[in-house]
Structure 1
Amino acid sequence: MSVIKRRKLSALGFDFVDPSYLKEGQDEFTAREVQFSSKHVYRSLTSAEIDALELGGNQADNWSNIQVTDQFLPAQIQQCKFYGKIRIGHMEESYVEYRNIRLATGIYQSTVVSSDIGDFVAIHHVKYLAHYLIGEEVILHNISEMETSSRAKFGNGILREGEPESARISLELCNENGGRSILPFEGMQASDAFLWTRMRDDSLLQQRFQEMTVKRFSKDRGSYSEIGARCVIKNCQLIKDVKIGTDAYIKGVNKLKNLTIQSSREAYTQIGEGCELVNGIIGYGCRIFYGVKAVRFILSSFSQLKYGARLINSFLGDNSTISCCEVLNSLIFPAHEQHHNNSFLCAATVYGQSNMAAGATVGSNHNSRAADGELVAGRGFWPGLCVSLKHNSRFASYTLIVKGDYLSELDVRIPFSLISNDVTQDRLVIIPGYWFMYNMYALVRNAAKYETRDQRKLKNQYLETAMLAPDTVNELFEALEMLEISVAETMNPALADLCEKRSFGRELLENSPQSLAGKEFFIKGFEYGNRPVQLLKVPQAYAIFKRMIRYYGALALVDRVDAINQVDSPSGSLPADASAAQQILYRAAARISFTNIGGQLIPTEKYSHLITSIKSGSIDSWEQVHAQYHQFSTHYMQDKQEHALASLCELMGVEVLTYADFDALKEELLATQEWMVAAIFQTRAKDYQNKFKEMVYGSKEEMEEVIGALADNSFILQQRAELEALRKKLAQY
């Protein structure tokens, strides 16, 4: 039943904090005064000002509780009611304008309870405004209710004094059963969420994460909601327990409750019509529009929720967009795209640069006897139209999945693959290296696109977007082993020793790939169950994988030579004599593993050391963790170069790389770049050579007018320019 309390009108605006929760020396305004920041000198109202206010139809329970500055204009306060302790900043005879709305500064037809009002604000028709700190030049227009509770947490996973554990907000990421839940906090990054959701069997580590989060906040009750300077909020219903940065624009929302909304002049956040957002943290520069529902969530900077999207118990990384669809219990790294009303993502960890097509369903409550398991997908994950996947499943980087119902759990560990369901023969079919063979345009363009779209103002983490990076190249090495074994098991089933299988398969793939023509190759452990998993185009994929690893290493070798020559030989020429040509550029080291923590790649050894430091207490705050991310980022390009050179040495089977090796690799590097640029062009040209695509236009000229001429494609032109730059660069050596 409803509990209605009735008290004296003179108490309205006071007793905000129950006295039993106040420490010695505190009162209900202690937390407010900590938050309040102003250089103004405030004073009480004069008798003349009180008379003028009453003449303007204003009421107050006690005029002595209202303080103003010397720049006070009582004529700009009309038809208002005031309760509790109120401070009003500078006023002047002016109006404020934002887009097409112009409002006189001052306070009109509003009820204000125990709040601080900034300079030159325009507050019109706010039916109830209680316990808020309002910045300067703020516009509040036609709002039903703005209030704050004494227990306000602003979306953070904390408890105020006297609250039970059940009142704490957590995000149940990666798994529906809550076994990987974390406590959200303002400033949380995808990397933080990733660290916290891993190693759940390490109770000490989990305890340290919670301790670092809790100590960021005071348990004291009485914090006020905040509206930063130059915010515009209009035509809204309920706004409760929110902290909003500067320059935000909010219009037509149904409900904003228990939120932190980060916003600034350089990266302002906008929230639009029909949205209902509860228990969340919204990053800088976000856009949320048109009927979005989000509950228990973190939306990272420069991300978007649009057109009825539902985001529940999930973390969405930077520079991502979700429209129309539903995402539950998921941890999503930066640069995720999901645009379609009938796509569904549940209980997943997606490593970013991903795309969910229409009708794709990743997890549901109906594919097992219990709550969903989990799905883990590497960078570039792309389940295509009407794909249905079952938990638990795992996918390597840049996996593309063809339309179909995949009824069994999958563990596809070969990157850049196309997965399809051969219903006729009842088998899973995989084309390793599909992207390199058939869609180089999209593969290369995506990397450039994600880098261009990274709008973060503070890039304290290096987010890897390149298709060839330590994570994907390590996967390519593992894929080479799997392809060798698959060939050996087909061509010589009698072999039992793993090393012998690899050696036999490698010999065939490298020296007599023509002997494999017409053979069928299969692989084990990629799908739960007994049906066969077939690999297509194995010799071609094997050759391309090796070529791409050599390309990755050769680019790093060019960078190494550049760095040396900038110091020793500014002209850029190579040593002329034979002995100098043998000068060692790189001495082989072991190729190391990397871990993707929220879009940032770091050597796994550094990742392990970070975890150890957190457990030991030598790192005891999230600020220190973030400083480590920044330090890792400053060293990443060097770590990546070392990895690339180590990969090249391993593939070539050499102990050192010399200038002579570099000289030999130049032509191969240039040839690979030429092949890639040609493949990029050929991939896009198919759209212009297909008569069926041309048939809806009256002429070829009309088609080019509508979709653009192939010759004018900016991305292809850019790739050709980069090829010429590489050609000129290599020619100088």
Structure 2
Amino acid sequence: MTQHYRLLTKEEIARLEAQHCIASDWSGVEVADDFHTDYIHHTRFSGKVRLGVFEKEFTLAGGMAKHSGVYYATLHNVTVGDNCYIENVKNYIANYEIGHDTFIENVDIILVDCHSRFGNGVEVSVLNETGGREVIIHDRLSAHQAYIMALYRHRPVLIEKMRKIIESYAESHASDTGTIGSHVMIVNAGYIKNVRIGDYCQIEGAGRLKNGSINSNEHAPVHIGYGVICDDFIISSGSHVEDGTMLTRCFVGQACHLGHTYSASDSLFFSNCQEENGEACAIFAGPFTVTHHKSTLLIAGMFSFMNAGSGSNQSNHMYKLGPIHQGALERGAKTTSDSYILWPARIGAFSLVMGRHVTHPDTSNLPFSYLIEEKNTTYLVPGVNLRSVGTIRDAQKWPKRDQRKDPNRLDQINYNLLSPYTIQKMMTGRQILKELARVSGETSEIYSYQSAKIKNSALNKGIKFYETAIHKFLGNSVIKRLEAIHFASDEEIRARLLPDTPIGTGEWVDISGLIAPKSEIERLMEDIECDRLNSVDEIHDRFAEMHANYYTYEWTWAYEKMLEFYGLQADMITAADIAAIVRQWQEAVVGLDKMVYEDAKKEFSLTSMTGFGADGSSEEKMRDFEEVRGVFESNPFVTAVLEHIKVKTELGNELIERVKNLL
């Protein structure tokens, strides 16, 4: 990249003028030492312009070659790096520094017209479109920072300190000059104003980009497609915004994909979100929020690891004071086609919502449930989603679908299906269900909870589902803690079981993808309030530290709950106690896997074959089904479940064998 510039010689000026170039003042044009005039034609220079060398060719799709240079363009206060190609700028490029090897062709206008912060510092009225939960977006925004800024409004000092930290960051990145990075391609674009564009970005046919940052880089390029309109925005590395998408006051996180005329306003989309066809207003879309359907509206809600069915809808007008209500679907929740929820409501983690729900349910302490509407009544089926093949498949697919290539990741994502966050809710849910049975009578046909109805059989099964999952989680934790160690005495087992840190006891929270002890989140907020954390990077590093220490903190929590759940005393645990926990764990794991296996079997039933075999007999129908879907026994998921049963059984037996001499 050229660093040293010189003035043009009289001969160079004469040659440029002969090539139909003009300047308001040629002394304002500086060039690289090795500059040649051969590839500058029909160009107008205004203000201070710097030009690099033009020595390379671009080879375009189809084999077309174009030599770097500037043709048919107007440049005002622009630095053009080495080996760029700029042609057919209908209006002008003003106040930009352009990197090297960048290709710009057939654009209307690219300019900076003020002291701009390029989208940093824009306030997004998330969750409540009338205001009150504004999140200030910036280049380094994570889902966890946004979560605290949106939801912890009961701590005004914290919010004010965070606001100042972000304002300081935004102002430090403000400038009168925009940047277009190296290896960028901008073709057939319209209006680009006050936009900072990172390296390796591709912009093809965008309609309007105004006041924003496109944080593309070599590891994770950004692509902006045809007809895209973005105002007051930030788009993070590795994301694709395509095909007529319209964004107003939005943050797009890393490796997101927005397309097929999706429209959104005042919304936040974090890592790996996929949004197509539908629309969003004032939503907080945590990692892996997915919606693909034209008829789907997401409004004033908080989501993560969520899949919205066709026609899913919510209302944030409960009465007559306007759109002031909000709701949350905790991690992993799904909605079926044509579902509806009247906010305010809160749906527990990994739950499935079917039908129309207008009674404002709060099922956050009953995760893995079904909410089913029947004759305008919400029926709750607790814990049943633990046995669903879909739930297990989701948990397996999310890590595989993490498309982030940027080594500097903004969001700290925990993929665990069972964690202190979900298990604490199951423990609470188990007690709630038991108390409902005690108060209303164990023979009652219907129980009422949070404006929902629970049938007797569903309640009793829910208790068993939760107990099974608790056995599975605690057993997993114990086996992991004791793995690969041979013990000579019960004392050695007790010593190994002791936690490495006191951090982890008490309540745990899901901060939009990050699962952590609430005590650590409280400590972070106190450090912001007391000025011990003073920058967005320091806040980011603290979240990353919590994520890195997850399993250490998890064991502290699991150890305490193990003693409580199994009625053990820390100084009296024996190998026999461990063996008993492992056997219950084996029973829980195998039991759940068998339920998942039976659930998967439904996908291969005769009913599922309806529609297969175009014109033939039932035998041809089955052969057609098997050609398309495969045979149940050889299905990859089914074989994985069977292998999981085998491996986990052997793992438990191996630990029992290691402590056998102490039994």
Output the TM-score relative to the length of structure 2: 0.92
Runs (4 or more) in structure 1 with deviation over 6 Å come to: none
The residue matched to 1:687 in structure 2 has which SS? helix
Q: Within 5 Å, which residues of 2 pair with 1:377-416?
A: 377-403=329-355, 405-413=356-364, 414-416=366-368
Match of 2:296 in 1: 343
Q: 1:373-405, CA deviations, whole angstroms, 9 ceiling, x for partnerless residues?
A: 1102211121221111111111211121112x2
Q: Distance in 1 between matches of 2:177 and 2:186?
A: 18
Residue 551 in structure 1 maps to residue 551 in structure 2 = no
Unaligned runs of 5+ in 2: 614-619, 656-663
Higher mean C-alpha deviation, range 603-612 or range 461-470: 461-470
1:448 aligned partner: 396
SS at match of 2:360: coil
AA partner of residue 480 (structure 1): R
1:636 — aligned with what?
A: 550
1:250-286 deviation line (CA, Å, top 9, x unaligned) = 1011001111111111111111011101101111100
How many residues are aligned here? 640
Question: Closer, same or farther in 2 for the Cα pair 1:487/1:222, shift >3 Å?
Answer: closer
1:66 corresponds in structure 2 to 29
Q: Distance in 1 between matches of 2:219 and 2:634?
A: 33
Per the alignment, residue 12 of structure 2 pairs with: 49
Q: Secondary structure at the match of 1:716?
A: helix
Deviation for aligned residue 1:361 = 0.6
Check if 1:284 corresponds to 2:237: yes
Post-superposition offset of 1:526: 3.5
Instruction: Please give the alpha-carbon distance, in whole angstroms, between the structure 1 residues aligned to 2:103 and 2:398.
Output: 35
Where 1:302 maps in the other structure, the secondary structure is: coil
Residue equivalent to 1:477: 427
Distance change >3 Å, CA 373–CA 684, structure 1 → 2: same
**Counterparts of residues 690-729 of structure 1 (less than 5 Å):** 690-697=606-613, 698-729=620-651
Match of 1:34 in 2: none
Q: Residue in 1 aligned with 2:324?
A: 372
Worse-matched range after superposition: 518-527 or 138-147 = 518-527
Query: CA 1:696 to 1:715, structure 2 compared with 1: closer, same or farther past 3 Å?
Result: closer
Change (3 A) 1:695 1:97: closer
Correspondence for 1:84 among 29, 47, 51: 47
**Aligned pair in 2 of structure 1 residues 408, 220: CA closer, same or farther (>3 Å)?**
closer
In the superposition, relative to structure 1, how do residues 215 and 490 fare at CA in structure 2: closer, same or farther (>3 Å)?
same
Matching residue within 429, 445, 448 for 1:520: 445
Counterpart of 1:617 in structure 2 is 531
Distance 1:49 1:613, change over 3 A: same
Q: Distance in 2 between matches of 1:562 and 1:254?
A: 58
- Answer yes or no: is the 8 Å Cα contact 2:69–2:86 preserved in 1: yes
Query: TM-score scaled to structure 1, two decimals?
Result: 0.83
Aligned residues of 1:270 and 1:287 also touching (Cα < 8 A)? yes
Q: After superposition, give the CA deviation of every residue in 1:20-48 in whole Å (9 maximum; x if it has no partner).
A: xxxxxxxxxxxxxxxxxx65211111122
Q: What CA distance in whole angstroms lies between the structure 2 residues aligned with 1:221 and 1:560? A: 50
For 2:456 and 2:30, locate their aligned partners in 1 and report how far apart those are by CA, in whole Å: 77
CA separation of 1:353 and 1:221: change in aligned 2, threshold 3 A: closer
| Paired position in structure 1 for 2:287 | 334
| Cα distance between partner residues in 1 of 2:608 and 2:59 | 56
Of 509, 524, 537, which residue of structure 1 is paired with 2:458? 537
Distance verdict in 2 for CA 1:190–1:100, change over 3 Å = farther
Taking structure 1 as reference, are residues 322 and 100 closer, same or farther at Cα in structure 2, changes over 3 Å only?
Answer: farther
- How much does 1:244 deviate? 1.1
What 5-or-longer segments of structure 1 have no aligned partner? 1-37, 158-168, 492-515
Residue of structure 1 aligned with 2:600, choices 671, 680, 684: 684
Asked if the contact 1:428–1:534 (Cα under 8 Å) also holds between the matched residues in 2, the reply is: no
The equivalent of 2:72 in structure 1 is: 109
* 2:276 matches 1:298: no
Specify whether residues 623 and 391 from structure 1 end up closer, same or farther in structure 2 by C-alpha distance, changes over 3 A only. Answer: same
Using the aligned pairs only, state the percent identity: 20
Please say if residues 305 and 332 of structure 2, whose CA atoms lie closer than 8 Å, have aligned partners that are also in contact.
Answer: yes
Match of 1:121 among 84, 99, 114: 84
Deviations 1:44-67 (A, max 9, x none): 111221121112121111222111
Which amino acid in structure 1 is aligned with residue 148 of structure 2? L
Alpha-carbon separation, structure 1, partners of 2:604 and 2:591: 20
Q: Give the letter for the 1:653 counterpart.
A: G
**Residue 500 of structure 2 corresponds to residue 586 of structure 1:** no
Distance 1:660 1:538 in 2: 32
> Residues 460 and 633 of structure 1 are in contact (CA less than 8 Å); yes or no, is this contact kept in structure 2?
no
Determine if contact 1:367/1:390 at 8 Å carries over to the other structure: no
Cα distance change on mapping 1:368 and 1:633 into 2, 3 Å: same
Q: Which residue of 2 aligns with 1:24?
A: none
Q: C-alpha distance in 2, partners of 1:233/1:99?
A: 18
Could you tell me which residue of structure 2 aligns to residue 178 of structure 1?
A: 131
Number of the residue aligned with 1:215 = 168
Deviations 1:293-322 (A, max 9, x none): 000010100011111111210111111111
Instruction: Check if 1:149 corresponds to 2:113.
Output: yes
Task: Give the Cα–Cα distance (whole angstroms) in 2 for the partners of residues 42 and 581 of structure 1.
Answer: 72
Please state how far the C-alpha of 1:581 moved relative to its aligned partner.
8.5
Structure 1: distance between partners of 2:582 and 2:382: 27
Name the CA shift for 1:259/1:98 in 2 (closer, same or farther; >3 Å). farther
Match of residue 132, structure 1, among 52, 74, 96: 96
Q: Measured at CA, do residues 520 and 587 of structure 1 come closer, stay the same or move farther in structure 2, by a change above 3 Å?
A: farther
RMSD after superposition: 2.3
The 3 A distance-change label for structure 1 pair 72 and 365 is farther
Flag the 1:150–1:542 CA change in 2: closer, same or farther, 3 A: same
Mapping 1:594-613, distance limit 5 Å: 594-613=508-527
Q: Distance in 2 between matches of 1:67 and 1:430?
A: 73
Indicate conservation of the 8 Å contact 1:52/1:74, yes or no.
yes
